[in-house]
Every structure is written in C-alpha cells, then in structure tokens.
Structure 1
Amino acid sequence: MCGNCEAKGKKCQRKKSNSTEPEIECIDKPAKGAPIDYKMVLTEVILGFCHLSLGIFIIFIVYRSNKLKREHKINIQRFLEDYKALKPSRYCYADIKKITNNFKDKLGQGGYGTVYKGRLSNEVFVAVKILNDFKGNGEEFINEVRTMGTIHHVNVVRLVGFCADGYKRALICEFLPNDSLEKFIFSTFGNNRSLGWCKLHDIAIGIAKGIEYLHQGCDQRILHFDIKPHNILLDHNFNPKISDFGLAKLCSKEQSTVSVTATRGTMGYIAPEMLSRNFGSVSYKSDVYSFGMLLLEMVGGRKNIDVTVENISQAYFSEWLYNHLDQEQEVHIRIEEENDTKIAKKLSIIGLWCIQCWSSEERVNGHQLLCLVLGDCDAIGAIWMCDWCGEE
C-alpha cells in the first residue's frame, strides 16, 4: 500500500481513522541537512538521565534497607550470644577446649588448678579455671558454683559458666586484665609503687563493699573464709573484685555463728577463732580479720609474716606497726606526698582494729568495716576513741 508513496519519493505513514480497514497517507520526507532540534534532544537526554537516576536510587534504597535489616539481625544475634554468656551455663569439656583454643593462653597455676584465658563470643573474654583431678566429695566445686552463680555485685567476680563432665571440673569466670592485687602490693613482683595511695584507698573501699554485700546484701550470708591479696582481682580500671569461693560457707542472716569441721583459709590470714575457740566462735567476722591482715599488707608492701628480714622484731609486720603507732614513732612506710601519710595511717589503724580484738565477738562486722574505710564513723553506732588519731 505504501508503494505509491515511495514511488513519488514520499514517506508513507498510517492514517488515523475509525475505519476497520487500514488507510495510509503520503507525507514529504525531511530534507537532507535539516537543522536538528537540540532542545528536544536535550530534553530527552535529561528525561532519560532522570529515569536512570531514579532507578539507581530505588535500587540503592532497597539494598540499603536490606543491609540495615541484615546488620540489625546480626547485632541482635550477637547481643543474644553475649547475653547468654552473662548467665551461668553448663559446658562440656569439648566446649572448654574450644573456648580456650586448646588451652593456648595460660594465665596462672596454683594448688587449686590452672587458669587459662578464653573467649566465648565477640568481645566476651573469660578466665577458665581447670580444677585439679576430681577428688573427695567435690565440696569446693559445689561451693563456687552455688555461691558465685547467685552473686551480682561490682566488687565480686561473676561466674559465667561451669563444666562438670565426668571427672573434669572447670569454672568459667569473667576475665580481669590486671590480675590480682598480690602482684601490685608486694615488692617481690616489682610493682610496689605503681598503684599509689589514693588507688590503694579506693581498692580498700571496693573490697569492703564486696565483703559487706556478701554478709548483708545476699539472701543468705556468704562467708568467704579466704580473703587475701591473691583472691582480689583487678579490672581494667583497677577496681577490685573478690574471687575464689571454694572455701565459702552459706548461712542464714539470723545465724550469728557457724560450725566448721576443719580450719579454712590461708595461713597468715586465718582468724584466731578458727584455730582455737578460746578466741570466740567462728562467724562472718572471720572475714573481717582476714581483711585487716590484707589492709596491713597493702600498707607495708610486704607479707605480714616475713622470716627473711634481718631484724626479728620486724618479722611480724602487724606487731611492729602497732608498736610504732602506739609509741608515736615514724613507721617509714613509702610516702611520696603529704596526703599519703593520712591514707597510710588510716588504713593501718583500720587494719589493726580488725585484728587486735581478743574475742571475735568484739570485732567489727562487715557494715561497720565499710563505714570505717569510708570514714563515716558516726554510722557505726558505737564510740571508739583511737589513741593514735584522737578521732571517734
């Protein structure tokens, strides 16, 4: 049908009509070299670019939305994994090997067993204590799991999990990067002056708060029976946390004394009533005695019983310190600033108050101890006149 148009050198196009039969018309072809309508071309290019940009933007929004959803899902999964690690869980021995990377990073070793650094998930690091071969009735293992599993306090080490797989026993606790207080107060470790007296005072307050919580803040009173520098761990800010509850004993708050079948604790920190009932009954105040010995070691930077000293009168540091303070003599403890003297004297006096009573009944309790360390003597409820400082 377009043959006639082409024969005439014209262009054929379909004619718009309502007829059911196709109709055509002939139109003139554009002359060669006719000017291009750049405005129309530019409009078409801009429209095309806008459509392309809109498509890319829509694709990006969809991709970004899906990516955020994936990231949120991953964050929730990580949170749930970390939150699960906050609750004491039971692990098999194969899990322990995986957590410690086959016991690659050893932190320490003692009579109780060996401690390794481990990793649960993401940035949750833990200390895994592999107990020695299971012997006896497992009382120490039961004590640690039973007591630490219910404790939630900033100054008490948190139990993350445990392993009881056949004869294999392990405890998984929060990891504290600065190890124990022992390595920072004794000159044998070379860090005798690294903490400073203000930090030592803060550490003493933290330990006292932890003891007060164990004695008063839990549903049942927890007697630790092994308060010593080795069992005081320090976090990244050197905040103290009480650890190692293998010798702990639980009793009701109404129970003033407890019965023990054998001496508990470490020599040098054991309260006298543990060795002889002539000094009174065994109670939660036994922890106060141990804390007093710990305070004196913090002050002196040495063990309370040191048989290596040349002068035998200095072998028992607590007695030597008491005599010097009683006679108002200079104790020559490491002092760098004027305020250090006040802190050292305060900690010394409190430490002596904790250990010098002839009867355990006369000894301060955990709450009174905390008030002493904080300096809130009015809250103790009893008036004590200190011969050395003249303060109540």
Structure 2
Amino acid sequence: MIYTPRCRKPQDVEAFDNAQGVEAFLRQCGTLAPKRYRYSEIKRMTKSFDDKLGQGGYGSVFRGALQDGRLVAVKVLKATKGHGEEFINEVASISRTSHVNIVGLIGFCLEGSKRALVYDFMPNGSLEKFICSDKSTEEPRFGWEELYEIALGVARGLEYLHGGCSTRIVHFDIKPHNILLDQDLCPKISDFGLAKLCPPKMSVISMADARGTIGYIAPEVFSRGFGVVSSKSDVYSYGMLLLEMAGGRRSIGATNENTSEVYFPHCLYDDLDRYCNVGVAGVTRETGEIARKMLMVGLWCIQMKPEDRPSMSKVVEMLKGRATDLQMPRRPL
C-alpha cells in the first residue's frame, strides 16, 4: 500500500471554489439576490476606505455613501481561508429576511478574493459601547425604558429568524457587538457569518464544530452532553445579553473584588431583590418592574438544558407581560 500525503489546496484554488459556491447560491436566488457591486464601486463609495468604523477577525468596516447620498456601512472581508463560507452564510441569511429588527443588506461585492458586504448605516453603532464598560461604577447610558425597548426589539428579531421567515435561521453569535442601533435606537441584529439555515421542520441542527463567542455560547454548542443544538442555543445567548443589558456584570463588578471567580448569573439569582431595589443602577418605583422582568426572563433563557428554556415567541410574550406573572426559574448551574 502506498501512502500519498494529502496536499492542501493552493489559496487561489480555494478562492475559486468559494467563488463557485457563491455564484451557485446567487443563481438560486434569482431576482431576490441583493445588488452586486464591482470592487471599483466599493472603493468609490468608501473614498478608498478612508473612514474605518471598526475591525475584527473577519476584516474591517468602513463608512460609505451611495450615489444618492445614502450612508452605508461596508464590511470588507479578509481574503483568507474560510471566509468564503462566512460570506455565503451572510448573504444567504440576510437576503432571506425582511424585518425591522434585522440589519438591511443593500448589496455585495465578489471579485476573485475580494469580498465586501454593503449594509444600511447605523449611526449609533453597536449596543456594546453603551452597555459594556470597564468602569464598574459608571452610570448606565440608557434608562430602563430604553433598555426594555431594545431588549424587546432583539427578541422580536430572533423570533422572526426562528419562525417568521421562509427559511429558519439560527444566528449563533448573539452578543452586544452584533446588535446595531439606528438613529431612533431601534435594534438591528447583524453579522450572520456564523448563522445556519434550516428547513422549517428541522428542529435539531448538525454542526461539525462549536461556533460563537465565549460568554454567550450555549453549553450544548460546545458539548453535546448538555443536549441538542437548536434555535434554543440562540435563546441562551439572548439570555446572557439580556442580563448584561440589565447591568448584571457591572453591578457585580462594583461589589466583588474577585470578579473573575464570580459567575454573575448566580449573584443575580441569589440576590435578585437587591438588584431590583429602588436606587440600584438607576432603578425607580416605576422601572423596578422592568428591571425584575428583564432579569427573570434572562435567567429563564440561560437554563442549562435547552428544553428548559423558552422559545423566542414565549420570551416576547414574557417581556410584554407583568413581572408578577413570571415564576422563578431554577438556579443556573
């Protein structure tokens, strides 16, 4: 028997394979495919990538403008292995959606290894800069009413992804950085690079590897011993987002020296009344119920077993109801 070493594909061959996959997907979309831009048009609308809004492992985001003056955000992906799949995921996912709480994809660019995505511009940036701070005593930038409306908007967006569009979509990377805010602070779920598209009747998702961001990944995503991967994995991530929005991490950081050793949902669960008391993190008599409701719904969402978590439709219902109608969930493990 002769052993033949497995050769890695040259980068240009990988780029060709990824491009072929994108082209095949676009043919399936037909007239529903988003607008396709040439790379020269991408350079023109961003003034040769003059105004960078942010960057990450995927690439960089630049401010741009269309010919009619409409502001856009242009995500330019790095030309490295694996981004062909993420590119397809993003175009395929968002092109199937139409919802006030999902970021709008205007168009894309695909020229060889050059890939870019053109989105509606969100003037208030991401939720992360408003709720995540290293200063544990810093005053919240949003009132409880605003936080509640943002939380409800994200929940409605996820409810739509899980059951309201033609192909069910599981996002797999819900976190503050991926929630964008428009001029009216309306939240928009963004960054579908890790998303999975599922037939409507398929409840269990098969995945070869874990995906998501540490701190927001559901337990079953990295260990099947906790249960099956499904849309309930997004529910867990949403729960962690909700608890962080309600000031959980910041409040605990202000009262615990060894914060790295503290699992903040435990502290919230064990001392929920104190976190909802008047005078804590801007809580008043009028907003105390909002604070309690957000925290209790968040605790329900992060239950260890997927089957113990509510669906996003149920989450929306719980958020719209009264805090006194909610039962206390099990203590998170």
TM-score normalised by length of structure 2 = 0.82
- Contact kept, 8 Å, 1:116 with 1:127, in 2: the verdict is yes
Identity %: 52
The alpha-carbon deviation at position 318 of structure 1 amounts to: 1.0
Contact 1:305 1:316 in 2 (8 A): no
Residue 355 of structure 1 corresponds to which residue in structure 2?
A: 302
Q: Please tell me the root mean square deviation across aligned C-alpha atoms, in Å.
A: 2.7
Q: Does 1:138 align with 2:113?
A: no
When the two structures are superposed, what TM-score results if normalisation uses the length of structure 1? 0.70
Verify the 8 A CA contact 1:129 1:171 in the aligned structure 2: yes
1:137/1:125 Cα in 2 relative to 1: closer, same or farther (>3 Å)?
closer
Instruction: Choose which of 328, 350, 366 in structure 1 pairs with 2:312.
Output: 366
User: Which residue does 2:24 correspond to in 1?
Assistant: none
Correspondent of 1:311 among 229, 246, 258 = 258
Residue 281 of structure 1: how far off its partner (Å): 0.2
Write the mapping of 1:271-310 to structure 2, written as runs, cut at 5 A.
271-300=218-247, 302=249, 310=257
Q: Which runs of 5+ in 2 are unaligned?
A: 1-31
Q: Report whether the alignment pairs 1:125 with 2:67.
A: no
* Cα shift readout 1:9-48 (whole Å, capped 9, x = no counterpart): xxxxxxxxxxxxxxxxxxxxxxxxxxxxxxxxxxxxxxxx
**Residues 107 and 232 of structure 1: CA distance in aligned 2, closer, same or farther (over 3 Å):** same
Secondary structure (helix, strand or coil) at the match of 1:150 reads coil
CA deviation digits over 1:268-315, x for unaligned, max 9?
Answer: 000011121121100011000000000000011637997x95135873
**2:87 is paired with a residue of what secondary structure?**
helix
Matched, 1:266 2:213: yes
Equivalent residues of 2:293, 2:322 under 8 A apart: no
Aligned to 1:71: none
Query: Retained in 1: the 8 A contact 2:51–2:62?
Result: yes
**What amino acid is aligned across from residue 230 of structure 2 in structure 1?**
S
| 2:327 equivalent among 374, 377, 385 | 385
**Runs of 5+ unmatched residues, structure 1:** 1-85, 378-382
Question: Residues 351 and 107 of structure 1: is their aligned pair in 2 closer, same or farther, counting only changes over 3 Å?
Answer: same
Alpha-carbon separation, structure 1, partners of 2:129 and 2:83: 33
Instruction: Look up the SS of the partner of 2:246 in the other structure.
Output: helix
What aligned pairs does 1:316-331 form with structure 2 within 5 A after superposition? 316-325=263-272, 328-330=273-275
Matched, 1:186 2:132: yes
Paired residue secondary structure (1:176): coil
Counterpart amino acid of residue 112 in structure 1: Y
- Displacement of 1:188 in angstroms is 3.5
User: Which among 29, 36, 57 is matched to residue 111 of structure 1?
Assistant: 57
What letter is aligned with 2:77?
A: L
Q: Any conservation in 2 of the 1:185–1:302 contact (CA below 8 Å)?
A: no
Q: In the TM superposition, what are the counterparts of 1:222-241 in structure 2 within 5 Å?
A: 222-241=169-188
Specify the SS of the correspondent of 1:138: helix
> Does 1:169 find its partner at 2:115?
yes
RCO comparison, higher one (Cα < 8 Å, 6+): 2
Q: What is the alpha-carbon distance in structure 2 between the residues aligned to residue 149 and residue 226 of structure 1?
A: 18
* Conservation of the 8 A alpha-carbon contact between 1:134 and 1:168: no
Partner Cα separation in structure 2 for residue 99 and residue 206 of structure 1: 30
The match for 1:52 is: none
Is residue 2:291 matched to residue 1:344? yes
| 1:228 Cα deviation from its structure 2 partner | 0.4
Q: Which amino acid aligns with 1:385?
A: Q
Once the two structures are overlaid, the 10-residue window that deviates more, 188-197 or 360-369, is 188-197
Larger radius of gyration: 1
Determine the C-alpha separation between the residues in 2 that align with 1:132 and 1:316.
35
CA displacement at 1:366 relative to structure 2: 1.6
Q: Tell me by how many angstroms 1:136 deviates.
A: 3.2
The amino acid of 1:172's aligned partner reads V
Residues 220, 227 of structure 2: 8 Å contact kept: yes
Does 1:88 find its partner at 2:7?
Answer: no
Asked if 1:243 corresponds to 2:185, the answer is no
| Stretch of structure 1 that moved more, 296-305 or 153-162 | 296-305
What is the number of residues matched between the two proteins?
295
Match of 2:148 among 187, 196, 201: 201
1:317 is matched by which residue type in structure 2?
F
